[in-house]
Chains A and B, each alone.
Chain A
């Protein structure tokens, strides 16, 4: 079945540093989504990408839909303590009509 490989699995960084994480797949997706999950809560949608090559920003977050449609990355600039959480990528395939999730990247920020 379709699988997403998300990396890194975890990151421990200093406040103010930039962060980068990515997802890759052997399958093509029509949409890439990035979610953040805080402890004890449900995932919250951060950014949605619909076109190959698309670069979209949401505040300090920037995400790109890879040209091959098989990958996506998320950058967080100038990290702050409230960026702590688990970040998930997800790919939507119109062939299956389902969303496939990466395993998540756990981000910890040291003040």
Chain B
């Protein structure tokens, strides 16, 4: 299994509060991604990174920001959480021997915004 951890694994927060989710990898992969998974929508890309300090938006980036100051860490921040951001968030990595096409996923963070 790819060495990917996500923290926290579960979080309950209130509307309007800031939230930061962390993804940590031990594989030294270049690319990192944040997805959200919702019933009926499958997995949708929020933001991704193609190197340290290099990030770009995905299809559902509004209300989210990211940062990558080290190869191994990719942070997802909800500046002011809303109930519509209640979801399961997955981090993924790629760019190892399998190439950029094959993405490997972390265990997920279940976020509930009340």
Taking beta carbons and an 8 Å cutoff, which residues of A are in contact with B?
1, 30-31, 33, 35, 40-45, 48, 50, 88, 90, 92, 97-99, 101-104
Contact = CB atoms under 8 A, between A and B. Distances in A.
B102 A43 contact: no
B102 A41 contact: no
B98 interface: yes
A101 B43 contact: yes
Interface residues of B, number: 21
Contact of B102 (A40, A45, A97): A45
A71 B16 CA distance: 42
- SS class, residues of chain B in contact with chain A: loop
B102 A88 contact: no
Which of A30, A101, A102: most chain B CB closer than 10 A?
Answer: A101
Contacts of B90: 42-43
B58 A101 contact: no
Contacts, number: 47
Given A41-B108, A88-B42, A98 B102 contact: no
A93 to B, nearest CB: 10
B101 A30 contact: yes
Contact of A99 (B4, B98, B103, B106): B103
Contact of A48 (B58, B59, B98): B98
Contacts of A1: 59
Contact of A41 (B48, B59, B107): B107
Contacts of B42: 88, 101-104
A43 B43 contact: yes
Contacts of A30: 101
Nearest to A102: B42
Interface string B38-69: 00111111001000000000110000000000
Given A41-B107, A42-B106, A33 B43 contact: no
B30 to A, nearest CB: 12
A42 B58 contact: no
B74 interface: no
